[in-house]
Structure 1
Amino acid sequence: MAKKSSKNKSNSNTIALNKKARHNYNLTDKFEGGMSLQGWEIKSIRSGKVNISDCYVHIKDREAYLLGAEIMPLKEASTHVVCDPNRDRKLLLNRRELDVLAGAVDREGYSIIATAMYWRKNWVKLEFYLGKGKKDHDKRADIKDREWAVDKGRILKNKNLNKE
């Protein structure tokens, strides 16, 4: 029997993350959607030239669009293709999901924040949340709680070491 050839493939399916989202927003409901992309965008995504740190989702005419995501074109891109790195990309969602998102944004004042872009089989998916912006004092309280959890772990660890 012949051995299976191992492909040079990373274990992580994550393409890009928005690390500031959890710091700046209280995230509540999680959604996932596909994206309508062009060929040059897929090639750029495969090479890792994606930035979703300042992007968000906007509902317009009962359709969802990803705004602010930057996919840089490759230098080897064809000359006859017009590559706009900041174009609006349509999200592929069910009508029920669109209605929930539109209702939350219109009636309850939520924002829709993209947190991750990743591969699901051979499809590019976007993970996004409904969230409300945090005030500065909320951010400080979260930092304080996180630091206390670390200190508490150190205290308990030292206490257990001293008993032994």
Structure 2
Amino acid sequence: MSNKNQNQSKGGTIALNKRAKFDFFIEERIEAGIALTGWEVKSLRAGKGQLTDSYVIFKDGEAWLLGSQIQPLATASTHFVTDPTRTRKLLLKQRELYRLREAVEQKGYTVVATALYWKNHLVKCEIALAKGKKLHDKRDTEKERDWNREKQRVMSHPAP
């Protein structure tokens, strides 16, 4: 086993949804388990997961992750049906499900997946309760990020 795989299996990040911070105000983060098949776990160990444009829906009292992609390995068996974008079940407690569903239905929040990571030998999905940003909010965030970057540059290299 290579050193890279050892680090991943002990708690490394598999995939991040960087777009979520740009498009949403993140209010609260929750850790959820995710129901995967064997080939999906192998693909995630190889770093083949992607969370861009993924979100959570509630159906029949359960939470489901939509829009995530896990590309099958070339060595995957041919007798498995490997759908890279299938809907995956999120494993949450009833209390968490109720609270999230209530926030989505009554308060206008949305639930987005922000990260996939290893916790011991299990794959966990970090989901966040978020509100959408307007265009002017995105511009303000960008200006603030640029200003902070410029401040760091000036502070680290003082003028002669």
Mapped pair 1:86 → 2:48: no
Name the structure 1 match of 2:48. 49
1:150 is displaced (CA, Å) by 2.8
Q: Equivalent residue for 2:60?
A: 61
Residue in structure 2 matched with residue 102 of structure 1 by the alignment: 101
List per-residue Cα deviations over 1:20-57 (Å, max 9, x = no partner): 11011000011010011111111111111111111111
1:114 corresponds in structure 2 to 113
Q: 1:148 to 1:35 in 2, by over 3 A?
A: same
Q: Distance in 2 between matches of 1:38 and 1:150?
A: 42
Bigger radius of gyration among the two: 1
Which deviations, in whole Å up to 9, do the C-alpha atoms of 1:92-112 show, x marking residues without a partner? Answer: 000000001000000011110
Provide the C-alpha distance between the structure 2 equivalents of 1:83 and 1:42, rounded to a whole number of angstroms.
Answer: 12
- Any idea what the Cα deviations from partners look like across 1:47-69, whole Å, max 9, x if unmatched? 11111111111111110000011
The whole-number CA distance in structure 2 between the counterparts of 1:89 and 1:155 is 47
Distance 1:42 1:138, change over 3 A: same
CA distance in 2, matches of 1:150, 1:56: 30
TM-score normalised per structure 2? 0.90
Task: Give the CA deviation at 1:17.
Answer: 0.6
Q: Percent identity?
A: 48
Would you say 1:10 and 2:7 are equivalent positions? yes
Q: Which runs of 4+ in 1 moved over 4 A?
A: 154-159
Distance 1:77-1:156 versus aligned 2 partners, 3 A rule: closer
Q: Deviation at 1:151?
A: 3.0
Structure 1 residue aligned with 2:142: 143
Query: Does 52-61 or 72-81 show the bigger shift?
Result: 72-81
> Which deviates more from structure 2 when the two are superposed, residues 7-16 or residues 134-143?
7-16
| Change over 3 Å in CA distance of 1:156–1:46 after alignment to 2 | closer
In the TM superposition, what is the alpha-carbon distance from 1:81 to its structure 2 partner? 1.1
| Aligned partner letter, 1:134 | K
Give the unaligned 5+ runs of structure 1: 1-5
Number of residue pairs the alignment of both structures matches: 156
CA distance in 2 between counterparts of 1:45 and 1:138 reads 34
Q: CA RMSD in A?
A: 1.8
Equivalents in 1 of 2:156, 2:138: separation in Å? 27
